[in-house]
Amino acid sequence: MGKRYYCDYCDKSMVAAPTIIRTHIKGVVHQKLVSAHYQQFKDPETILKEEGSKKPCSRFFSGDCHFGAICRYSHYTPDQINAMRNYVAAKYNSPNHLSQPSFEDLYQRLQSEKSIKTGLDEQDTVIYDECGVTHVLPWTYSPVFDNYNCLPPSIRRLKSGDFVNACFMQWGLN
């Protein structure tokens, strides 16, 4: 038995020949299922753009439309369309809805947050040795770990005195 192709949308398995797969993907049933799958993720603005110019589907309301999500007519009632319009209008008129910030605004906000954070973390990243030399570490320490005495070296706060009598012979050997 050769390789098989499985279509997640149709829950169907078939021979993995390019012509068979192409024929399946162009089929009405597959297109209807794909469209129905992605319809559930659309926001109201997109639905209104798509459904606003369509006429109501008379077969859908009688329960006889076989096209489903690929029907050229609208399957929404006028009440549903009005409810979506009211929702979108309320969303855009709410005080929480702001226009997209400009790149300069985002950059300035990032720089101000960075300067505030740098000021707070500087006490954790700067160490002084006995000669008064300042060393700035590229990481920050959590002050929670200062309460523990027997921490492994990987999470212990480093001090300049820890390197005074250090003996480095070869990497990985003691």
Q: What is the pLDDT along the chain (174 residues), one digit of tens a residue?
A: 579 999 999 999 999 999 999 999 999 889 989 988 988 888 888 888 888 788 888 888 888 888 877 888 888 888 888 888 888 888 877 665 556 778 888 888 887 876 665 554 555 567 677 777 677 777 777 777 778 888 887 777 777 677 777 776 776 655
CA distances from 159 to 32, 68, 130, 168 (A): 66, 69, 11, 17
Rg (CA), the chain: 32
Distance, CA of 65 to CA of 80 (rounded, Å): 18
pLDDT of residue 55: 87
pLDDT of residue 30: 92
pLDDT of residue 43: 87
Find all residues with CB under 8 Å of 109, minimum gap 6, and list them: 101
